[in-house]
Amino acid sequence: MPYSKEQIGALVRPDSVNKSIYTDPELFKLEMQRIYGRIWVYVGHDSQVPNVGDYHATMIGDQDVVMVRADDGKVHVLYNRCPHKGAMVVPEGNGCAGKFFRCPYHGWTFRLNGHHLAAPMKLGLEGTRFDPASPEFSMRELARVDSYRGFVFASQAADGIPLPEFLGGARSSLDNFCDRAPEGEVVASKNVFRVIQRANWKVFYENLNDTMHARVTHESAIQAARDEVKAEGLEQMPLRLHIMENNGQPYEFWEKLKLVAFDHGHSYMEGIFDPGSIKKDPISHAHYQTLIDAYGEKRALEILSENRHNTIIYGSGSPHTVFQQFRIIRPLSVDRTLIEIQVFRLKGAPEEVYRRALMYCNVINSPASAVMPDDLEVYFRCQMGNRTRGGEWVSQHRYAGTDKPIDGGLVAINGTSELPMRNQFNAWKQYMLAAA
């Protein structure tokens, strides 16, 4: 049942989307081609492959790819496939290929940029259509690779807008992310969380700027934190509880947050906590000091004042500037998604800033955390409920029709607006139709 342009167009209304968008495997296949097969997708961070030969094998949509540091010092992104019999050349995960790739099946070798290097006993290939110079006999490179402040993206389409234009306003989050490092650069931590969500990938994107869910979905953690403080007679909420409890802010709090949406599906929401006052909190203060040393006081303050919660880079995932993480969102199937969570060190910042980011991630993002499981549960419930005939549409009515245009995007008139979701599906529709 191939979808016509009209049918796809009809799935997205200005204030709601058809539930089949989350449940139809056919649409998922189309997304793999028209979205993940075309747009810029985050592959990994530069610092994951510091030395020549280092690689990170991962997926873009349904494609196994390998990000590698080649002899030119640049990061390349190749399909993880040997052109001989098709074997994945490196296993999933991280490693070092050495000076070149060597396929484990028959030992064909490839330069780190994927170019054919050698096949054993070459004589047997002479006089045949085998041609070492043809891309048919190399590990193929993805059509386009670029990076923004160390964050490496790739696109499988040769044509299309360049990366900076694609990122648009979301660049400011990556900028602030890196600016928070006195040396202007960040370094990925050694390990990551990987969390399986039994729901469609788009559900996670919608949740990232969904300010209305926090109080309700996370009520058990909010209440537990409050009860703990009370039971233990603590004078103030320790940070590790505050980051749970803060979800319980009254609606008025959420309404005041700034929500900014950008073209191509991106957006961000204003920060919901200050990890600590730069005056009183010793970690924040020490961080501030290193920034002053690096940038001067004005700029340092400017950088730390740019307080954002989740930023969305549609199709890639979500950087969090204040707690230095990047949540990569990988669709696995129509009802299964992998969330991969990286934490970063800010180069030149005190180690405590990194430890605080680890702590935040352990407490909030770990699959064993107080917070994440409830999100996973409601996502799963959406996936299940949307199989039923209990209604055709998924609502995004909140503050629909009130969004204000800004340069390259829209801004919400209220922090509880469902603008980010509408913005995502607007982009989704464009992607799905453009490539039809």
**Looking at beta carbons only, is 22 or 268 nearer to a copy of itself?**
22
Size of the site for a copy of itself (CB under 8 A): 76
| Region near a copy of itself per CB under 8 A, out of 68-76, 190-198, 340-348, 375-383 | 375-383
State the helix-helix crossing angle for 372-385 and 201-208, rounded to 10 degrees: 130
In sign, the C-alpha dihedral spanning 38, 46, 94, 312 is negative
Rule CB under 5 A: which of 368-397 touch Fe ion? Answer: 375
Q: Which of 22, 36, 40, 108 binds ligand FES (CB under 6 A)?
A: 108
How near is the Cβ of 216 to ligand FES at its closest, in Å? 7
Tokens of 134: 């043809």
Radius of gyration over alpha carbons of the chain, in Å?
Answer: 23
Q: Does 393 bind ligand FES (CB under 6 A)?
A: no
Instruction: Please give the distance of CA 341 from its chain centroid, rounded to a whole number.
Output: 8
Rule CB under 8 A: which of 168-227 touch a copy of itself? Answer: 203, 206, 210, 212-213, 215-217
Tokens of 93: 């995960």
Q: Which does 416 bind (CB under 5 to 8 A by kind): ligand FES, other proteins, a copy of itself, none?
A: a copy of itself
**Looking at beta carbons only, is 108 or 148 nearer to ligand FES?**
108
Alpha helices, DSSP H only, in 144-275? 163-167, 171-179, 201-208, 214-217, 219-232, 239-245, 251-255
* Neighbour-count burial of 424, counting CB atoms closer than 10 A to its CB (0-12 exposed, 13-18 middle, 19+ buried): buried
Q: Does 85 bind ligand FES (CB under 6 A)?
A: yes
Amino acid at 266: H
Q: Which helix (H) or strand (E) holds 54?
A: strand 54-60
**Looking at beta carbons only, is 384 or 413 nearer to other proteins?**
384
Size of the site for ligand FES (CB under 6 A): 9
Q: Which helix (H) or strand (E) holds 196?
A: strand 193-197
Rule CB under 8 A: which of 134-153 touch a copy of itself? Answer: 135-137, 139-140
Q: Which does 301 bind (CB under 5 to 8 A by kind): other proteins, ligand FES, a copy of itself, none?
A: none
> Which residues would be at the binding site for Fe ion (CB under 5 A)?
375
